Amino acid sequence: MITTTYKLTHQEFALTKKHENIIDMALTFTAMMRLFERNSKPRIAKKLSELFGNLDTTTSHEQYKSIHHEFCLWFAKSIQTAEKTFKNGRTKSKQLASYGQAAKILDISIKVFVYYCGQPNPTTAENLIPFLNGAIDNPILAYLKTKYPNTKITSSTIEQINESAYRDLQKLIALDVLKSFDNEIYPVQYDDILWNKLNRYRELESL
C-alpha cells in the first residue's frame, strides 16, 4: 500500500500559525487561565483549534449550538481548577470546571477568532456572527440579575453557572438586546458594550 504525506505550502503553514496565535491571544484575553490547573492551556487550545477547524462547515444555528454544547461538556469533564490558597491560610481544592467557565472561555475565544479577526474566512465569519453567544462574566451576570429580578437564576459567579442557568442567561441577553438595543446588535456585540459600560462605572466609583 502506498501512502503519501501531504506537506503544507508556506502559505498554509503561515495560516496555521496565524490561527494558533489568535487562539493564544484569545485565551489570554479571557483572563481565566490562572483559574485552571497548570498545563491546561495547551489542552484547551488544542480543543479550540479542532472546533475552529470545523467552522467553515457550520451553516446553521442548530449546528453551532451543538458544537458549543459539546465543547462545554468536554471542558467541564476534562479541565480542573487550580488549588487556591487564601490569605487566611484556607485552601480551596481542585475541582472540575463549571459549564459557565467553559462557556466563557469558548464565547470569548470564538468572538476573537470570528468577530474580531474574521476567521476562518470573511464569508464564513459573516455567516457565523449572528449565531455567537454573548460572553458572561461576573459583572454582566450581576447586571442581568439586577435588571431582571424575576429571573430564577441563583448563580452569583460564573463558577456557579450550570448548563440550565447558562441557557437562561442567554435568553436574558436576547431580551436585553431587544429592549435596550431594538435588536440592532448581535449578542456577540452585547458583552463588548456591557463590559465597557460596567467597567467604566467601576472606574468612576473609584475616583
What pLDDT score does 206 carry? 44
Q: Which residues of 57-96 are buried (b: 16+ CB within 10 A; e: fewer)?
A: ebeeeeebeebbbebbebbbeebebeeeeeeeeeeeeeee
Helix (H, G, I), strand (E, B) or coil at 1: coil
**Which of 117, 132, 147 represents a domain boundary (last residue)?**
132
How far is Cα 54 from Cα 79, in angstroms, rounded to an integer?
22
For the residues 7-30, what does the mean pLDDT come to? Answer: 88
Q: Scanning the structure block, which residue is given the C-alpha cell 479571557?
A: 30
Q: Nine-digit cell at 31?
A: 483572563
What pLDDT shows up at residue 201? 53
- Based on the domain organization, do 147 and 98 belong to the same domain? no
| pLDDT attached to residue 197 | 86
Its domain, for residue 182, covers 133-207
Cα 19 to Cα 24: distance, rounded to the nearest angstrom: 9
Res. 202: pLDDT tops 60: no
Do both 119 and 141 map to the same domain?
no
Q: pLDDT tens digits for 127-171?
A: 999 999 999 999 999 999 999 999 989 999 999 999 999 999 999
pLDDT higher than 80, residue 6? no
Task: Assess whether pLDDT exceeds 80 at residue 22.
Answer: yes
Residues 23 and 117 in one domain: yes
Instruction: Tell me what pLDDT residue 200 has.
Output: 66
Do 147 and 112 lie in a common domain?
no
Q: State the pLDDT at residue 196.
A: 85
- Alpha-carbon distance of 78 to 105, in angstroms, equals 14
What's the rounded mean pLDDT across residues 1-23?
Answer: 78
Give 55-111 pLDDT, tens digit per residue: 999 999 999 999 999 999 999 999 999 987 777 777 778 899 999 999 999 999 999
Beta bridge partners of 38: none
State the pLDDT at residue 179: 96
- Asked if residue 3 is part of any domain, the answer here is no
**What DSSP letter does each residue of 96-129 carry, written as one string?**
BPPHHHHHHHHHHHHIIIIIIT--S-HHHHHHHG
Q: Is residue 4 part of a domain?
A: no
Tell whether 99 and 142 lie within a shared domain: no
Q: How many domains does the chain have?
A: 2
Q: What is the CA radius of gyration of the chain?
A: 19
